Structure formats: C-alpha cells, structure tokens
Homo-oligomer: A and B are copies of this chain.
Amino acid sequence: MRDEMARPPKTNAGYFFEDYRVGQVIDHAVPRTLGPGERALYHALYPARHALYSSNAFAEACGLDESPLDDLAAFHVVFGKTVPDVSLNAVANLGYAEGRWLQPVYPGTTLRSRSEVIGLKQNSNGKSGVVYVRSRGFDQQGNVVMEFCRWVMVRKRDLDAPAPETVLPELKTVLEPGDLAIPAGLDFTGYDFTLAGEPHRLGDYAVGEVIDHVDGVTIEEAEHMMATRLWQNTAKVHFDATFREDGKRLIYGGHVISMARALSFNGLANAQMIVGLNAGAHANPCFAGDTIRAWSEVLDVAETDRPGVGAIRLRLVATKDGQAAGDLRGPDGKYLPGVLLDLDYWALMPV
C-alpha cells in the first residue's frame, strides 16, 4: 500500500444510530428518470401481467393517460434512494406502514426521494437502535408520487454515545379506504375482463378467502442483482458473495415482493393498481435457488367514489420450499421457515 494523502475519506460509510435526530430531513441522492426501458426490464424480471401496466390501450380505456410503470417499480426506486442514508448500516428492515401511491408514474418521470426521521428508540443492549423514517418520492415538478414509513434497526458507531429520547411515531396499522389516493380519471365501468385475463370482480371475493397462486419461479443470482441495481439499491449484501460468511448473496426483499405480486396475477388479475401498503414483514431470507410461490388472503373489501372502482385489502404471502398456501405461523406465533414475506396492501379492482 502506498501512503495515502492526509485527506478526509471520500467514500460514504453511512449513518449510524447516533447520527439520527427526530425531525431530521434527508434529501437522498441521484434522481432517476424512468422510461420504457425500466418498464420492459420489469416485465423481463417478473412474470408481470396486470393489463393496466402492460398495455397503453388498456390503460387509456380505464381513463389513464397511458400505461404507467408498475407501482412496485416506483416503490423500489424511491426506496432504493433511501438505502445509502437510512439502511447502509442496518441490521434489519423491521416494518412498513402508511404506504400510499399518490399518482401513477408515467414513462419520462424523474424521481427523487426525501426522508424525515419520525422516531428513535435505542435498544436495551446499547449496541443499536430503531430508526423510524417517513420517505417520500417526488417527480420533477415536486409532486409527491408515493410515500411510506419504515423502521430499521441500525448499529451504533460509538457504543458510548448517549441514548436519544425515545420517540415512537403513531402509525396506522391499516389505512382506511378513505386514505387511499385514486388516480384522477380512473374509471372501471368499461373494464374489459377478457383482456384483463380473469372474470372475477370485487363482489366475487369474500373476506377470509385464500387464493393459492399456483405458479413457482426459481430465483437466479443474475436476475435479483439486475433488479436491485435497476432501483440503484446499493446494499453490499445483495451483490458481494464475499460479504456474508456463508458466501451467499441475500436477495433484496423488494425482489420477493415484486415476484410474489406478479405471481398473484393468477387469481387476482383484476387487482390492478396497488394504492396502499399497510404493513409488511420479510419473514425469512431468500437466496438464489429458492423457488418462490405465493398465496393471498382477502382481508377486506371497500367501495370508492370512482365509477366502477372498488378496493380490496390483501395479505400477500411469498413462500419457498413448498410451504403450503394458507400456512403462515407456527404454534409459537412465529413465521414458518418457508414463509418469505407477509405483505398487507390495498389494490383497486373493478366492482
């Protein structure tokens, strides 16, 4: 090693628990223009088939300007930008709440992200703490296109740093139907069920109904890394096989979310638009070679004030190792080992 100049380090080591303050606002770096390329890659990386996100003609018939980028693509981009400032030193991504999609992201939109620290709680071991942030994605005009809260466990740099005052944000466990933002102009009265792929409308689903989405996809390293890079999510653990002691690359939880959502087409083809994220847990880690399956449970149904448009609240569960549809937790209340994801969201569906 040659002698390095005495300069401050140029690389970003990320924030540690003691660096956060309640009320702190962080503007995240690297805005991103999304276009038809990201759209095509989404369809190559996931078996996505919801018609509103596949066809301009179908989207226009539903009152939109054109087919938007998948709602989860927008989520991944907004989320990805927060990683270097929020979760670079995170031990775990603990939860989500109050996620709302406020307007469709059309090709050509440039997204950037901003987070506000809304809660802090040091762990009793003194080595780490939980940071609560509300993150928002903005388009180039400054409109909020989506927002969500998440909380992560972050390590301390200096174990002797004093614990901050504990602040726990009040977060809704479930968004009410009135909280959901429905895109201007959306109209499902002329909805084409044949082109959408299934005949089932909101009234055909009953609360408590469990749907096994049947299909499985075996995951490859190249695919999850391409997806995660596409969202400019830079967490080392997803890319560097030498980072974990077991030599495995942990798959970005959002990859599992998108895969499960795409698989849910088979049974929920008409749950077109995701508009609310109530809660989510990454129950177990996912690695290349796992075969992902999915099942959903209908948690609620609701009307909206838009023509033909209803809302359905769904639990989306991703599994591996052939974990049976409908099984979620063991007798101890813990997630079963074959459960990867437990996501609670609202989608819009024709009534």
**Is A165 on the interface with B (CB-CB < 8 A)?**
no
| Chain copies in the assembled complex | 3
Determine the distance from Cα of A108 to Cα of B35 in the docked complex, in whole angstroms. Answer: 13
Cβ-neighbour of A195 out of B30, B222, B223 (below 8 A): B30
A329 to chain B, nearest CB (A): 11
Q: Mark A276-319, 1 if CB is under 8 A from B, else 0.
A: 00000000000001010000000000000000000000000000
A contacts with B: majority SS: loop
Residues 184-231 of A contacting B (Cβ, < 8 Å): 194-198, 200, 204-206, 208-218, 220-223, 225-227, 229-230
Asked whether B10 lies within 8 Å of A200 as measured between CB atoms, the reply is yes
Determine the distance from Cα of A10 to Cα of B2 in the docked complex, in whole angstroms. Answer: 55
* Also in contact, A10 and B267, with CB within 8 A (given A218-B249, A291-B241): yes
Identify the closest chain B residue to A111 (Cβ).
B55
* Also in contact, A57 and B110, with CB within 8 A (given A10-B200, A47-B229, A268-B10): yes
* Also in contact, A54 and B31, with CB within 8 A (given A44-B229, A206-B7, A234-B47): yes
Asked whether B11 lies within 8 Å of A49 as measured between CB atoms, the reply is no
Determine the distance from Cα of A57 to Cα of B109 in the docked complex, in whole angstroms. Answer: 9
**Is A20 on the interface with B (CB-CB < 8 A)?**
no
Asked whether A195 lies within 8 Å of B112 as measured between CB atoms, the reply is yes
**Is A168 on the interface with B (CB-CB < 8 A)?**
no
Of A89-97, A154-162, A320-328, the stretch lying at the interface with chain B is A320-328
A20 to chain B, nearest CB (A): 18
**Is A51 on the interface with B (CB-CB < 8 A)?**
yes
Cβ-neighbour of A11 out of B211, B234, B291 (below 8 A): B211
Asked whether A215 lies within 8 Å of B229 as measured between CB atoms, the reply is no
A59 to chain B, nearest CB (A): 9
Determine the distance from Cα of A27 to Cα of B214 in the docked complex, in whole angstroms. Answer: 23
Determine the distance from Cα of A215 to Cα of B12 in the docked complex, in whole angstroms. Answer: 11
Known: A7-B206, A55-B112. 5 other contacts (CB 8 A): A2-B326, A12-B198, A41-B44, A223-B226, A242-B291
Residues of A participating in the B interface, judged by any CB pair closer than 8 Å: 1-2, 4-5, 7, 9-12, 27, 29-33, 35-41, 43-47, 49, 51, 54-58, 67, 84, 107-108, 110, 112, 140, 194-198, 200, 204-206, 208-218, 220-223, 225-227, 229-230, 232, 234, 236, 239-243, 249, 266-269, 289, 291, 322, 324-327
